Every structure is written in structure tokens, then in C-alpha cells.
Amino acid sequence: MGKALGLFFGILIGGKLSPLGFIICLYICYKIGKSFDENLLERKKQNQKKYEPFHEFTQQFYQNHFAPQIPVIPFFGVLGHIAKSDGTVRKSQITLAESIIQRLNLYGFSKTQAIHSFRNGKDPNFHFEQALNKIYQGTLNHFSTRQLLFKWMLEMAKLGPYGERQKALLNQAATILGIQAHSHIQQAYGSDLNNAHAILGTSSTDSKESIKKTYRKLLGQYHPDRLPPSASEQEKARAAEKLIAIKKAYEIIQKNLQGNS
């Protein structure tokens, strides 16, 4: 801006001078304008440095006071226990835990606490009920926060086999946290069960022996070793994915049959 004004006044003043005088005048006005721009930029930088601590304070204040306040240790312990409830913690479940840490703006020591608590929750001797009670006490006046935490518990369970064990843990959590979520727990389970039957081409009225027979037939049909030698890598990958889906579906149906027997 200063340089532009300097050139403008240089042309205005030097227009009545000789060619050499015009050039000298134009140069002097340009330098004055440039000096003005540099001084303005330096003042702007000094003001930014002056107010940086305030911006950092307001950002920390927002994170500390407006981010959901949760009992980090018991909550992530509960998530770890749900993830390990079938004996295996899946990569998708670890990814979900990491995503929740980011959504809650946990960093530094709080993030370390969350990670260690998730690992501790995988211990078979983890005090699940005690941790839920601590979550309830820590969110006593924040029902919406408890709903959010339970939603993440449900998501964590659904990333596993979501069988009777997972349903029992979620029902216990809903009862202690005072959340009417039993219908949602059953609906989510029923949805997965219906999808499993759709993958195998079976139904809930089929006998256990019939379902097992269909399952074995599909294993043979979609096993990558049954593909012709000329099969492309893409066809092999699709067959492998289908085989995984079949095994997962049969696992869900089996768990349901065991729970009803």
C-alpha cells in the first residue's frame, strides 16, 4: 500500500520536472512508501507476539471448560474391557479408541492416562462395575455426557463379534449409567444377526445342522484355492473378502444359537 502511494505521489510531483528529475523524484517517493510498509509490517508482528499468550490461554480455556468433562481412567478402562471381552482386540477397536481420544481433545498426560487405562481394561480381573460407578459419579449432573460415552461403548462392542457377552456388558453399563438403551442394544444385535443370515442365505428358522451344512458349502465355493489358475489378483482378493464375511457371519449365528440353547 505504501509503495503504491509513493509511486502515485512521485508521478504527481515529478510530472512537472525534467526526465531526470522525474526519475529521481519517483525513486525517492517509492523508497518512502516502501519504508512505510516495512514499519507497518514490523508493528503487526510485534502486536502478534504481544497477544500470542492470550490466544494460547483462550484456546486452553476452551478445551478445559467446554470439551466434555469425563472420568478418563474408568471410561477408557471400560472401553478396553469391552474390546477384549471376546479374547481379541481388533485393529478397528484400537482405531476407535484413538479417534475418541482426539475428539475429546486429550493430550499430554491425559492422553497417556487414556492409553494406559484402555490397556488395563483388557485385564480379565478388571473391575468393570466399579469403573462404571466412577463414570456415573463423575458425570452425575451431565446425562448427555453419559449418553455420549455409552454410544462409544456400543460402537466398540459392535466392532467385535457382538455376541451375548458384549450384550451383557452393555446392559450392565446402561443400568448403572441410568440410560434406557436396552432396546438399542438388542436392535443392533438383531441387525447384525439378520445380516449374517443374509450372507449365508439362511434364516433364523433353519436348524443348526442345516446352517452348518450351508456354511461348509460356501467355504468350499469361495475358497481362493478353488479359483482357476488364470484368476486375476482382483478376483482372488474378492474371494478372500467373501470368505472372511462368511466366517464372520457364521460366528455371529453360532453365538446366537449358543445363547438361546
pLDDT, one tens digit per residue, over 74-109 is 999 999 999 999 888 988 899 999 999 998 989 899
Distance CA 236, CA 136 (A): 49
102 shares a domain with 174: yes
102 shares a domain with 172: yes
Is residue 39 situated within a structural domain?
Answer: yes
Residue at which a domain ends, from 36, 66, 96: 66
Condensed to tens digits (0 to 9), the pLDDT of residues 106-152 reads: 989 999 999 999 999 999 999 999 999 999 999 988 899 999 999 99
87 shares a domain with 124: yes
The number of distinct structural domains making up the chain is: 3
Supply the pTM of this predicted model.
0.53
- Quote the cell numbers at residue 205: 428358522
Could you list the residue range(s) of the whole structural domain that residue 243 is in?
199-260
31 shares a domain with 131: no
Distance CA 17, CA 241 (A): 84
**Higher per-residue confidence, 162 vs 229:** 229
The confidence score (pLDDT) of residue 201 equals 86
As to burial, measured by CB atoms within 10 angstroms (0-12 exposed, 13-18 middle, 19+ buried), residue 56 is exposed
Query: CATH number for the domain including 242?
Result: 1.10.287
